[in-house]
Amino acid sequence: MAGNKENAQPFLNVSRYIKRKRIGVSEAAVKNTPCVVQRQRCNYYKSACPCSRMPDGAGGFIGGVSANPYELPHMAAIGYGPQDDIVWQCGGSLISENYVLTAAHCLNDGRHPAAWVSLGTVIIQDKIRENVNVSIKGQTHPVLDRIVHPEYKSPEKYNDIALLKIGTALESDALSTLNDKIHPACLQTSSVLPYDITSSGWGRLGPFDDPTPFLQKGFLNIYDSSECNKTFELEIRTTNLLQKGIHDSQVCAGRIEGGVDTCQGDSGGPLQSHGHEGSCLIVVVGVTSFGKICGQKNNLGVYTRVTYYLDWIEEIVWKHRNTCLVDDENYGECLPLSKCTHIHEHVRRGYRPAQCGYDREEPIVCCPSPYQEIWVPPPRMSNQPAKSRAPGEAAKLCKKT
């Protein structure tokens, strides 16, 4: 639908505010800028996170409680089948604006490939979960691409990790995937696992129950791999599923006493914790992979360890994205000015974004998060220069390491 022509502002009205100084990306790069890609993206996403809605870490799948609306804004349900008959059978984590992290064995349900991702809801409905009052329906995104880890070999249990690239949501009133209700989680970058671990999903509440329509969350403990080797001793000795035992690429978690556990239908969902220093963002530590008898004593679960696959994830998800420093603390992304629409009005009022370079005649600017507060200089008084960045100033780019 066409907009109001009187209010419409052509891009050139914004572009003319940026001094046309050609800056090559290599010239703008600063070698000493810290550059762990995931940390940059995590910093970029955190501005969308409202701290007032942090979960309390209680509850779970088997033996747990339902999550509150928007409490886990990265949580995704993965669906299979035609659009008019979607069945939600796996979980996942939104880790960028258009990528969902899940388990490799979730890319196909045996009959259909993973085709849909639901975001922004704690209640899902399908032919298995009928007669449910869905107060917040969320939004459904089509899956554009399925990327399995190259070393995953079913039915083996190793390298059980995959990525789903998602498209624009089907709903006309859908939110973006970077707002206070839906936004990406961070990925664990430290080899030291956090103490406060939770998991979440729409799987079974018991080994013989139907999957639940209500998103569940639960607190789990991390155990040494030797404990999971005890749980799966028979499989390690007699099958080719776990010939190497529990590997460094996996995390052993659960409750040794039983009572709280992930179950069938929770696969692909996150093993997660909260960021340090009161961060609102959730950090994904692992991906739900497999278990034994849900919720039983001495039956722990195995999760794919995210840190083991960071290079693979970053190469796919952020391969063509340049991250830059908006200021001393906040990261942005190098984008054409025409695509960084949320700063256009700020530019007209005097904001001068740093430049990453040029694409033909259009400046490439260091585009801050839509939720980052932008300082705009006050109107200039006579003979007083504006306190703003010099036009054409080069952005500090992060070198990928």
- The answer to whether residue 255 scores a pLDDT higher than 60 is yes
Quick one: which of 38, 36, 114, 34 has its CA closest to 285? 38
| Element holding 165 (H helix, E strand) | strand 162-166
Per-residue pLDDT band for 200 (boundaries 50, 70, 90) equals very high
Average pLDDT, the chain: 80
Q: What is the DSSP letter of 388?
A: S
Instruction: Kindly list the structural domains of the chain, giving each domain's residue range(s) and its CATH number in brackets, ordered by start.
Output: 12-32+322-397 (no CATH), 46-316 (2.40.10.10)
Q: What are 68's two structure tokens?
A: 């509150």
Compute CA distances 397 → 29, 31, 76, 255, 394, whole Å: 5, 8, 32, 44, 9
- Quick one: average pLDDT of 251-263? 87
Quick one: which of 200, 169, 196, 172 has its CA closest to 182? 169
Report the range out of 39-53, 185-199, 269-283 with the highest average pLDDT: 185-199
Q: What are 53's two structure tokens?
A: 């809605």
pLDDT digits (tens, 9 = 90+) for 297-352: 888 999 999 999 999 999 999 877 777 888 777 778 888 899 899 899 888 888 88
Catalytic residues: 105, 160, 267
Residue 69 is predicted with a pLDDT of: 87
Quick one: which of 33, 50, 109 has its CA closest to 330? 33
pLDDT digits (tens, 9 = 90+) for 131-147: 777 667 899 999 999 99
